[in-house]
Structure 1
Amino acid sequence: MRKRIFAIAITMNAMAAQAQSSVTLYGRIDNGFRFETGLPGGHRFNAESGDWGCSWLGLRGAEDLGGGTQAIFQLESVLNTQTGELWGNLFGRHATIGVANPGMGTLKLGNLGAGELSQDSLWVDPQFMQRYAVSTLVRGRNWASATNGFEYTSPDLMGLTLKVQYDLTNNYNWNISATPGGQGRTDTIEATYNVGAAQLRVIYDELRGASGTFDNVYVHSRSLMAGGAYTVGPVRFYAGYQHLGAPGATNASVGVANASQPAGITAPTSVDHAWLGAAWRVTGVATVTGGVYHANANHGNGNGTMYTFGGTYNLSKRTFLYAELGYLHNSSTSNLSLGSDSYGNNNYDPATGTAWNDNPVYGHSQAGVFAGIMISF
């Protein structure tokens, strides 16, 4: 009899524990095609994974600790669903544990990964950080990642939410990377204010290089971004501004030789970036998006302007088709690219058909189009 009571007690405890905790498997797959012109070797047609947004696979869970507090965790991987390979580390996007309470906020510890706050600029971007979007003219600077860190998000304070991140180097020196060539100390703060049909967002972000300095405006720099979105009927309007600063940037620190650049051009130490756009929900299943982005870099690096037009069509609640057109016009001393995150000359070799990056020739333009399908689960 006692054995039966003990077995029943174990079963009831297991059922209670199950009721108080949850684990969710989730993910998304994005595959499509892309055609671009103005590349160092001419044009290219690709099968691609992740032009609208990267594919991922993850686990998230929560356990009720009582009093409205939960223990939470998240593990997430990035996938190349054209080849089946992982992009980066196994849980390179997220590997965190923390606690959350509606009245006190949320604290996370671990690899914040793609949760680095510069990536929240997608919320003030009419193209939602697709391939041709707010990160393009700053050579991927808004795709920063964060490791060895913690993040605190405040509860909603009458429409205002604050978020703070701090990431350690795990080195004796507070600022310098413990890994040669790695990333130094980073810290970020974000304020979001929602009022009626408007959302305002300000993000201040610092990413240091391996030596603890700001040595590449597109990689290791200070970033101040302010933007907003406002909805009028079926149309949502977007506007934003971003300033990047890297006072320690030199040709050597960004990895280019003086002779590889046009006369008068040296590594930029600041970039100013602004954009305008809108998303129009034409029907319940179709949305059209458009945006104009402009960036200007100092030290003779000129300016670039990108024009985009795209749209999505929902096949269901979890699956949609997408497409986007992009055209990027460079001034005579600029070689911004639709897809390359690298700074400097492409060093194209016509004999071998190879280039160091996809940057166009200085002063030349690029155009592209991509389309595909995304499913979430």
Structure 2
Amino acid sequence: MSSGQGGLASGSAVMVLEDGRVFRGSSFGAAGETLGEAVFCTAMTGYQETLTDPSYHRQIVVATAPQIGNTGWNDEDDESGKIWVAGYAVRDPARRASNWRATTTLQDALERRGVVGIAGIDTRALVRHLRTRGSMKAGIFSGEPAAAPVEELLARVNGQPSMLGANLAGEVSTDDVYTLEPEGEHRFTVVAVDLGIKTNTPRMFAQRGIRVHVVPESVTLDRIKELRPDGVFLSNGPGDPATQDDAVSLTKSVLGEGIPLFGICFGNQILGRALGLGTYKMKFGHRGINVPVVDHTTGQISITAQNHGFALEGEAGQRFDTPFGTAEVSHTCANDGTVEGVQLVDGKTIKAFSVQYHPEAAAGPHDAAYLFDRFAGLMEEKA
């Protein structure tokens, strides 16, 4: 594919899966090679937020939408300080950016940040393959690396670490504490444990009059208590939740202190583990902004934004005893029954809760934004 008005890179590229399946296309983004777990995202829009979501660390994202890049890249919608995906695979990249907010093209953003991608492949066939066989190790090779024999490329792909057992939260977490001040009158203070937090999450808290101290994933309970929080938040993040023994131990300590707690995505798995549930790696996960979830306490169905390849064990409405009281599976996916939320209850009072999806919805529907208000309600009751 030759360079055009959108700055499309020239040259060939090849994507190799661990089972030997090969897709040949054109270079997209930076030239070179990259390794990661091949996953697919069903969102029709919001690729900038997807690419900058730390939860995608070490993953090669395949876009199911055939046309990508139409709105270019802007200076406002990043969900972190960098592009975290290991690579990007698309069918038909736009040749020009067609949005008034765009400051550059997607191709230029990928190239400038050193992200290797591939374009012009049959992403429909690739997604069907991943849905059938499951997410798997993969690599994208463009430029000089693409000229190597497929057998050599396959060996590189299979030589990389598995996502199962990957401890990645520390690689994406902040190094230092930072604070986002509330908009308007200060109501509460929340300590947000950064396991891979997205920019819009503290912003959603701030809009509700909540001061947010974002802390590293290595934070101690003593440090949290020094910040005098009204509540503790566990963020989204990448990797295998089975590796997060320290985060689980911290969560148990927070629950023992009686501090209201709210978790999303990776944080849902951490809370679930703290309450005694196991986790497992899903076949191909949920990634997109169109996943239906049932809230079994109300019967309401929300369309949600999701990005996870691991899940909690359990069934809809399951209740179980914990050292902190009775817990229950509060939400499940309407598509496949996957656990999408747990909560710790005391009679009719919720003491802690979490959901597997992203109520900050960047990008995504706003159906679940009320969960930030629910958490504020928990803190108000505690006060």
TM-score of Structure 1 vs Structure 2, range by shorter chain? under 0.3
Compare CA radii of gyration and give the structure with the larger one: 1
Report the TM-score, using the length of structure 1 for normalisation: 0.27
Higher share in strand: 1
Larger relative helix fraction: 2
